[in-house]
Structure 1
Amino acid sequence: MQTRYSFGGDEHIFVEVDEEMSLEAFFKSLSMTNAVRESGIAGITEICPANASFQIKFDPDVIAPQDLMTELKGFEAAAEKADKTIETRIIEIPVLYDDPWTRETLMRFRERHQDPTSTDLEYAARVNDYPDVQSFIAAHAASPWFVSMVGFVAGLPFTYQLVERAKQIEVPKYLRPRTDTPRLTVGHGGCFGCIYSVRGAGGYQMFGVTPMPIYDPSGKISYLKELMIFRPGDIIKFRSVERAEYDADVAAIDEGRFEPKIVSVPFSLDAFTADPAGTNAKLLEALNG
């Protein structure tokens, strides 16, 4: 698809890199928004990246709309030629899968689900051809996940599974959204995973919860001095934990003793495309090394 540029009123330009959600589209969008941010163009007041698209807010009294459009198209040409390697971070997220809180919540909303007779995990395992819930959980936790955008709700990461396309977990969203989702739920809808940063409505299938806050507007949590932990381009690795470890992590966070496992790593789109399994093995070796 050719990138589409359109004006949104007098102060916005919307750029749609691709209609298809793919790692290639995410990388191109990320490269362009990074270039805009680094350019320091006078008149740009906000950069809002999304999945395979982004929006720029600008002051038309400072820069003419067509001039900014020309600048953005120049960034696109540079992005297509740029080295598709980024310096990023891999962040380990402990998860209590099949926890009591999401289970209680999902049971309250079964009439909104495709299969009212099963749990979200049972349904997800079945539609993805896994023999049981445990094998599905193992697959979900085994691979890294690329953070394609952060937003919709403050601090919420949208994540894309780093495996071959044919092996990606895909689960439809609820038929009708819930009015409740526990805070820090690990969810999935379509080809995207997420972590609900706050309690609220939601339509993604619920797989578990993490004890690890990812957004803190109060700034009191020791490792969240920037209010939220994720940024586009980060890589997440989920780790399945039992209830005892979950409770211990909650206590450590409350006491200011918890430090998430975060390791700086390079990530090459070309290397991943050529050898997904080998690239993932190197990422996990860096995390566990």
Structure 2
Amino acid sequence: MSETASPARYSWGGDEFIFVELSEEMSLRANFRAMAITRALKEERPDGILEICPANASYQVRYDPDVIEPHTLLAHLQDLEKKVGDASDVSLSTRVVEIPVLYRDPWTTETLMRFRDRHQDPDATDIDYAARINGLPDADAFIAAHTGSPWFTSMVGFVAGLPFMFQMVPQDRQLVVPKYLRPRTDTPKQTVGHGGCFGCIYSVRGAGGYQMFGITPAPIYDPTQSSPDFADFMVFFRPGDIASFRAIDRDEYDDTLVQVERRDYRIRSREVEFNLQPFLDDPAGFNSRLLEVLRVD
């Protein structure tokens, strides 16, 4: 059922930025509203708009005040907010992508063991801890829950190319796992992680605080743009992409790395249209139909 969208809060950032907070709650609906408004703004692209950056439940616009009068821009954004409403009627052209994951891999396992003093449960692995606090019997059940539904890319950033993902299930079924008590100083590149209600893939090696469940052999960030998936841009994920995690074994992981090194590997993807309200009305049925497109050759 459609809901009435709460009014947005608009804030100025110096004389070049306007920040728009659509909701204080992180939800798929709030993110979809941000996506719908910013996509409409990109299509219209009034003179003076320099950058448009959507986030989980907000967005920010950078503009040139010598070209577009700030309050004219504010009025335009408020008009877009009214037109989008709760976004229940908006259709989003996007992709569904399949991400292979080697869960409980040796690299993230070695890393998490080095940082047990920073973890809520020093005697358990990250995935065992995540299974327990989500009421699941074991790590295999957690992996089944993690791969059993798609994930909506709510934003890309913080670190170059890193996607934040929101699990496409009813809120009472979402996997929720707190971040480490203190951040790690090391996380392997392409780690599949989770913090709060958000999943992510670490695009580069570095510090981090999300729980680590596995690693993907699929590159998602390539500043050299030397692989087929990066011909147009060095970042693979786009806001609005829908990811499906698929568990693989070590042999497939190694085989995929060979393809990556040959520069002929491509992430499996299909173009789709996503409508929020049909998903909210029947999440399980919608997800089943959505993921079916990946099985079509």
1:19 aligns with 2:29: no
CA deviations over 1:198-232 (Å, ceiling 9, x no partner)? 00110100000000000100111122112111111
- Counterparts of 2:26 and 2:86, CA distance in 1: 20
- Pick aligned residue for 1:48 from 50, 53, 65: 53
Give the Å deviation of 1:256: 2.0
Give the count of matched residue pairs: 289
- Counterparts of 1:256 and 1:173, CA distance in 2: 34
- Counterparts of 2:114 and 2:91, CA distance in 1: 45
Secondary structure, aligned partner of 2:228: coil
- Counterparts of 2:27 and 2:276, CA distance in 1: 11
Secondary structure, aligned partner of 1:129: coil
Q: Could you tell me which residue of structure 1 aligns to residue 164 of structure 2? A: 158
CA deviations over 1:148-205 (Å, ceiling 9, x no partner)? 1111111111001011111100000011111110000000000000000000110100
Map 1:261-272 onto structure 2 (within 5 A).
261-272=268-279
Give the Å deviation of 1:286: 1.2
Q: Could you tell me which residue of structure 1 aligns to residue 111 of structure 2? A: 105
1:92 aligns with 2:92: no
CA deviations over 1:224-277 (Å, ceiling 9, x no partner)? 112111111110000000000000000011112212210111211111111000
- Counterparts of 2:236 and 2:8, CA distance in 1: 30
Q: Could you tell me which residue of structure 1 aligns to residue 36 of structure 2? A: 31
- Pick aligned residue for 1:236 from 243, 254, 261: 243
Which range is displaced more, 263-272 or 118-127? Answer: 263-272
Q: Could you tell me which residue of structure 2 aligns to residue 258 of structure 1? A: 265
Question: Could you tell me the TM-score, scaled by structure 2's length?
Answer: 0.95
Q: Could you tell me which residue of structure 2 aligns to residue 195 of structure 1? A: 201
Which range is displaced more, 1-10 or 170-179? Answer: 1-10
Q: Structure 1 residues 17 and 81 mapped into 2: Cα distance closer, same or farther (>3 Å)?
A: closer
- Counterparts of 2:44 and 2:32, CA distance in 1: 18
- Counterparts of 1:258 and 1:71, CA distance in 2: 43
1:283 aligns with 2:290: yes
Secondary structure, aligned partner of 1:223: helix
Which range is displaced more, 122-131 or 77-86? Answer: 77-86
Question: Could you tell me the TM-score, scaled by structure 1's length?
Answer: 0.98
Give the Å deviation of 1:81: 6.8
The alignment's C-alpha RMSD in Å is 1.0
Q: Which runs of 5+ in 1 are unaligned?
A: none
After TM superposition, which residue ranges in structure 1, 4 or more long, deviate above 6 angstroms?
A: none
Identity in percent: 58
Q: Could you tell me which residue of structure 2 aligns to residue 68 of structure 1? A: 73
CA deviations over 1:2-45 (Å, ceiling 9, x no partner)? 21001011111000010101111011100111111111211111
Give the Å deviation of 1:84: 2.5
- Pick aligned residue for 1:79 from 79, 84, 87: 84
1:115 aligns with 2:134: no
